[in-house]
Amino acid sequence: MDESNPTEATVPLEIFKQVVEQAALAISITDAQAHILYSNPAFQRVTGYDVHEITGNNESLLSYKVTPKIVYETMWAQLLRQRPWNGLLVNRRKDGNRYLADLTITPVVGDEGKTTHYLGMHRDVTEVHRLERQVQNQKTLIESVVDAAPVAIVMLDDTEKVILDNQEYKKLIGELGPEPAAILLGALHASLGADYDNAKKSGRGFVGREVRHAAEGRKARWFSCSGSWIEEQDSSADAFYEPARRQYMLMVIQDITALKEQQEAIRVTALRAMLAEQERIQGLREVLSGAIFQLQGPFNMLAAAVRMLERQNGGNPADSLTASLEEALAQGNRTLETLRACVPSQAEETPTLIDLNAILKDMLRLVTPRLLADGITVEWQPAGNIPLIPGRPTRLASLFKALLENALDAIHESRGERRELKVSTTAHPDRVEVLVEDSGPGVPDEWRYKAFEPFFTTKGAERQHIGMGLTVAQEVAAGHGGLISLDNLPGGGCRACVQLPVA
């Protein structure tokens, strides 16, 4: 006891010995040449050597050849400077099995300043190392699989900040900008609304939600997004007794632009085929109706002549000329009835609510090859969020296809420098208005209403037009409670205006 400090207690040497003997940590004491002078029971349990087997042997007895020579050289360089050393060594037990030792060696310096002994403390960390390597291997394997995946995968923290991604996601960064996940999540928030928050709270996630992204000056892209939320236990010391959780979101993003384009091409092809079939039937109807219309005139004149002859004969039909004419008239009427029976009926189509912008976009896509061939510039100005109208989609598609083709014919015939087509929609409280404007020669005032009459055409028989296009368009508009009008534009050209009532 220090007499100057009467409160300082001295721990008996026996207590020190008991502490070392009962310590769970393997402890050994060597001389300056690393010969073992003492080892505690924990040391004997780790190494497998009894006290009489290990005492007097050099500590190098435990060394194993796989430990690099540089490790021992570094250790002795540190110890010779009388500094403690800590590191990992691969040691060998008495039975030959190897283990990984986390070793700390401290030089014991005597009164003369020389190292007299070394205090060694080590523990077997083989299992800890195995678990660490297993976790690292699994992490590497998962990262390799994720990187090799043909879809973009990204992990987001609870603030929606990216903390892990793969190579496909990095490609999206180069294509969409620095934060593709933020862009797509914004679109998902908008499309899912409250369902997004509900999915996050319940942890059920969402699967295969399609998102469209159209950057300025670039082609629109489509992505299929799936998301799931994952909870992780907080590994900090603060959360040891009071577990806390953090929520992460795993998001899988698949570029389906090519698939959507293929589906769109198939849909447009089917629409083209359906309209072509409808036009074929309509053409047959026009031909037969035209024939009936043309034949009906002479038969009407023949009927009038028969009635005049009957009046001249005092109502006596026995006259041979009158009888012959009546027979010819009857035969002609039977022929007309046969022709009328041959006129194909229009297929019934179930009415539904229709987005006119979508129909007009499809029709513009259908005439795109002709637009490109004629060098026509298109200005497409759809109104946002126009109301839906009740109607038959195919019939309305044929209406706008007829108007577009008339406009393209007018532009082609004009052969002017201005080759422009403008299509726009406008929403009104009670109706949706569609304008189709062309830079053609315009329509003479006397034709503004005559153009809707059956069989009126300015294109001639050699163009295979019999003048029923606008007539049918007017019928379709009227069948939907709307109307069509034609006007000349101030700067030249024609404007077709279609007005259809909303639901």
How far is the CA of 444 from the CAs of 245, 415, 447, in angstroms? 77, 18, 5
Quick check: helix, strand or coil at residue 488?
strand
Cα gap 148→210, rounded to integer Å? 23
pLDDT digits (tens, 9 = 90+) for 256-291: 988 988 888 888 888 878 777 776 776 676 667 767
Nearest CA to 379 among 424, 332, 441? 424
Residue 315 vs residue 289, higher pLDDT: 289
The pLDDT of residue 466 is 41
Q: Average pLDDT, stretch 59-68?
A: 92
Is residue 144's pLDDT more than 90? no
Find the angle CA(263)-CA(265)-CA(270) to the nearest 5 degrees.
95
Name the least confident of 23-27, 209-213, 321-325, 499-503. 321-325
Contacts of 282 by beta carbon, 8 Å cutoff, 6+ apart? 398, 468, 472
Determine whether 229 is exposed, middle or buried from the number of CB atoms within 10 Å of its CB (0-12, 13-18, 19+): middle
Q: Are strands 221-233 and 206-213 parallel, antiparallel or unpaired?
A: antiparallel
pLDDT digits (tens, 9 = 90+) for 153-162: 988 888 888 8
Is residue 62's pLDDT more than 80? yes
Is residue 468's pLDDT more than 60? no
The pLDDT of residue 1 is 45
Q: Average pLDDT, stretch 476-500?
A: 88
Cα gap 11→28, rounded to integer Å? 21
Q: Average pLDDT, stretch 197-210?
A: 82
The whole-model pTM stands at 0.57
The pLDDT of residue 467 is 44
